[in-house]
Amino acid sequence: MYGGGYIFDEPNKRQLKEEQLHDDPVKLTEFEARIARGEKIEPGDWMPSEYRRQLIRLIEQHAHSEIIGALPEGTWITRAPGFKRKLALIAKVQDEIGHGQLLYNAAETLGKSREAMINDLLSGKSKYSNVFNYPAETWADVTVIGFLIDAAAIVNQVANAKGSYGPYCRALERICYEESFHLKQGHDAFIELATGTPAQKQMLQDALNRWWQPIMHFFGPPDKTSVHSEKLMQWKVKMASNDDMRNQFLDAYVPKIRELGMTLPDPELKKDEATGKWQFSDPDWDLFKKVINGGGPCNAERLSVRQWAEEHGRWVRKALMTPQKVNVAPVA
Amino acid sequence: MTQPSLDPRVNRLHLRDSGEPVEVQEGENWNSFEVFHQEKRGAHHEHVGCVHAPNAQLALVFAKEQFARRKKCVNLWVVRSADILAFNAEDEDMFANNAEKTYRDASGFKVMEKINQFKKSTNDKK
């Protein structure tokens, strides 16, 4: 997942040094040996320019996904059913925004400023996870997101936490710890609807039917069509193939859905016990591309909400940067 | 897309009409500060990450939100990332140890062997 998308290059005002344009083969060998030994790469280390570019793209997309991902859920805070669910949802949304901050910081260590990343998000250059371009129509959608989207994200993040870039791994360690709460509260809410009244069950089933295709899209296109994976795997930027992560997710979570009497809208979905691989009907990858490139039901809305926040938060940021007045107590 | 949003705020604020593209200026999102977290009294402050803030006071406030909202914490330090001085990562080899440095180490002094040998020899004499 997080494949493809916009690649950031050093702005022209900062001249690239010769060594950044052409990787020194001796240093490249040392670098690859270090990774093969299981050592981490830190910000000041020499690294191939392609490693830097791909990591910026990956971490930045991950950061944007955390921020944009909080939007479909955030809108349900006011309408969460009950006090405990509301508290949990507020805590979860706060966590997601915090994850975005941690990841922007990690990406910044590679040379792209946070402002540049936000600009690229707002202009549509940088991508974020495709699932967040779909609406959360009912509370059951929030439940499916909290349980299954977070579960899928954890599969990806646990894999990436074993990657080679130190700052990204450290951010992910903290993120995974908090995600375990997200998953558990999502599972709890999911179980409550699945074991509830017929109307609650129906609402959950409808949400599952709506979200199943985006969930199958979540890990990205099948390995056979995925490009330049091999080098990124060797450099431990990409830690597991899209198909492997998808299979791992299905293996862990399809039984948890079915044990509650819920169904999934794919008649071909079943595990081949001989190979251990899940079989499913091919998701619509043309739709996936269309949504990624701006054609989804919520792309425009997500970006305009983010842009509104940036625009209307500006005076606060400026005021904090240049405090002009000190508040004094009234004299009488 | 003309259908109303499922998010009431979007409809209320007419967000779809906002139009004008926003350009965030370099530096507008402030500086970064490194955050150090003390888990209990008497423990070391440990580096846990960083926050963006306009000054150190607000960095502390943001650090509390970001790094102290769950696990136990009794204090935090913040310091501007730009003020951290570090060795060049490529000079790592200067920390390489001599093979023979047991003279700096508790494990380099085997007193029990000598004590036992002494006790044994005095017992033998009796």
Instruction: For residues B123 and A139, give the distance between their C-alpha atoms in angstroms, rounded to a whole number.
Output: 83
B11 touches chain A (CB under 8 A): no
pLDDT digits (tens, 9 = 90+) for A50-82: 999 999 999 999 999 999 999 999 999 999 999
> Would you kindly state where each structural domain of chain B is located, as residue ranges?
28-125
Fold annotation for A24-283: Ferritin (1.20.1260)
Strands in chain A per DSSP E: 270-272, 277-279
Instruction: For residues B2 and A300, give the distance between their C-alpha atoms in angstroms, rounded to a whole number.
Output: 11
Mean pLDDT of A20-42: 90
Mean pLDDT of B99-124: 88
Helices A166-194 and A150-160 cross at an angle (nearest 10°) of 160
Q: Which of B88, B63, B89, B93 is nearest to B76 (CA)?
A: B63
This prediction's pTM: 0.89
Question: Which residues of chain B neighbour A108 with C-beta distances below 8 Å?
Answer: 32
Are B18 and A307 inside 8 Å of each other by CB?
yes
The complex's ipTM works out to 0.83
* Residue B25, pLDDT score: 86
Which structure tokens are listed for A220?
Answer: 């990205």
> Would you kindly state where each structural domain of chain A is located, as residue ranges?
24-283
Which pLDDT band holds residue A23 (cuts at 50, 70, 90)? confident
Are B49 and A308 inside 8 Å of each other by CB?
no
A162 touches chain B (CB under 8 A): no
Fold annotation for B28-125: Ubiquitin-like (UB roll) (3.10.20)
